[in-house]
Structure 1
Amino acid sequence: MAAYPPTPRSQFFEALAAEIEHNYGRGRAIVAVDGAVGTERFADDLALSLRNTGRTVIRARLDDFQLPSEARLQRGPDSAEGYYFDRYDYTALKRVLIEPFRLGGSAGFVTAQFDTQRDAVFETRWVTAPKDALLVISGPFLQRPKLRGVFHFVAFLESSTAILNPVVAEAHELYRAEVQPRVSAGAIVSIREEDHPKREFADRC
């Protein structure tokens, strides 16, 4: 297999994976990648680096746990409140993924529950994992009160607000006002330059 020279991005993920492995080296742990944009690519790269440490890693996306369009769009497609309050099925996320994953053992769990293209529930596919597996979940709003205490480690991504459409930008302002995600995250990461992610620190004053 060809060896590729390290890059600032790959070195960043190696360091973050080493930190998570050091702190959660035994038993199951759940890692959240929270942010308005860029969470899927970030979580994929983090999962790869975690696998390189020898851990089994399960990937899931909050976007695969959305509510049906009737509920999701009840306030209209241009509503920031709807995007924030009505988009995701946190009850299903906890019931079929988070809670059984945390049980460990042979308990099965589901990594994707709702297909937004068909506006229908996916056919249920239960999977299992070893006792020391890690679950990496990506998506927005992962530190909201409904999910408090669920994750062992949260990386909150900061990006340029200029790339967000107005509805998403306003929804994330609602989120920031309610949660203050920079303060409660385990790591704050600037992805304003995607190839050079950088750790930041919350102003707790």
Structure 2
Amino acid sequence: MSTTHRPTGPAEFAGRWAASLPAGARVGVDGAVDADTAWYAAHVADALRAAARPVLVTVWSGFWRPRSLRLEHGRDDPDAFHDDWLDVAGLHREVLDPLGARTGRWWVPSLYDPATDRASRAPREAVPDDAVLVLAGPFLLRDELRRGLDAVVHLSTSDAAVRRRVDPTDAERVLGAWHRYLAESDPVERATAVLRCEDPRHPAELLR
């Protein structure tokens, strides 16, 4: 089946997508390259703020498990990267579930500091009932994460583009886990929107 893409820009897409998000939505920016997901999440957040809407932004690395658990099978294991790096239960408990409430909403912006390999000790914060969460990271359309998100934009990136944009020492781990994710979770089909992102500055949106 043929597919059609429409050229766009990061700010242009973010503005259109943000305008479609309902009050209180929990949304994700899903992609293989952390820097790209964080960059697009910032664009979405900027668009929401420009519309005077409250927004919460966080990244998946703020909810990693401690290094001793993440790297139990070595730092290069793609299956561990896919399955074990993220504290899924903690993310649901401290972010996705309390932000799924209609009122009395709160969150904890992070649980973990990757720089120190210690708990971040971020405090619990009350948030407006209409605040939109923007979460950046990979694997967000796995079943156990998808149920906590109301909309996800998926950044579709070739292996060559991933290799250009991640540390060479991380490439095999990242790509091995990403190939498994594509095969098992079918993020292009499940995502709310899909951007072909060979160069993050010049994306193209998949027209469904």
Matches within 5 A, 1:57-136: 57-136=55-134
Q: Deviations over 1:51-99 (max 9, x none)?
A: 1122100001111000111110111111111111111100000001111
Match of 1:189 in 2: 195
- Unmatched segments (≥5 aa) in structure 2: 1-7, 164-170
Match of 1:178 in 2: 184
CA–CA separation in structure 1 for the residues paired with 2:28 and 2:119? 23
Q: Offset of 1:197 from its aligned partner?
A: 1.9
Q: Secondary structure, in 3 states, of the residue corresponding to 1:45?
A: helix
Aligned-pair Cα RMSD in Å = 1.6
CA–CA separation in structure 1 for the residues paired with 2:190 and 2:26? 16
Q: Deviations over 1:120-165 (max 9, x none)?
A: 1111311122111100000000111211321111100012322331
Query: Contact 2:30–2:137 at 8 Å: present in 1 too?
Result: yes
Q: Secondary structure, in 3 states, of the residue corresponding to 1:60?
A: strand
Q: Offset of 1:11 from its aligned partner?
A: 2.1
Query: Contact 2:112–2:119 at 8 Å: present in 1 too?
Result: yes
Q: Offset of 1:201 from its aligned partner?
A: 4.4
CA–CA separation in structure 2 for the residues paired with 1:104 and 1:54? 20
**How many aligned positions are there?**
191
Counterpart check, 1:10 vs 2:6: no
Q: Secondary structure, in 3 states, of the residue corresponding to 1:54?
A: coil
Out of 157-166 and 47-56, give the one that drifted further. Answer: 157-166
Distance 1:201 1:170, change over 3 A: farther
CA–CA separation in structure 1 for the residues paired with 2:195 and 2:115? 31
Identity over aligned residues, as a percent?
30
The structure, 1 or 2, with the larger RCO (C-alpha pairs under 8 Å, 6+ apart) is 2
Q: 1:41 aligns with which of 25, 39, 42?
A: 39
Q: Secondary structure, in 3 states, of the residue corresponding to 2:28?
A: strand
CA–CA separation in structure 2 for the residues paired with 1:117 and 1:105? 34
CA–CA separation in structure 1 for the residues paired with 2:199 and 2:12? 15
CA–CA separation in structure 2 for the residues paired with 1:14 and 1:148? 23
CA–CA separation in structure 1 for the residues paired with 2:48 and 2:61? 22
- Unmatched segments (≥5 aa) in structure 1: 1-6
Distance 1:95 1:190, change over 3 A: same
Q: Secondary structure, in 3 states, of the residue corresponding to 1:136?
A: strand
Q: Secondary structure, in 3 states, of the residue corresponding to 2:97?
A: helix
Q: Offset of 1:104 from its aligned partner?
A: 4.5
Q: Deviations over 1:24-64 (max 9, x none)?
A: 1x4x1101101101100000011101111221000011110
CA–CA separation in structure 2 for the residues paired with 1:39 and 1:81? 21
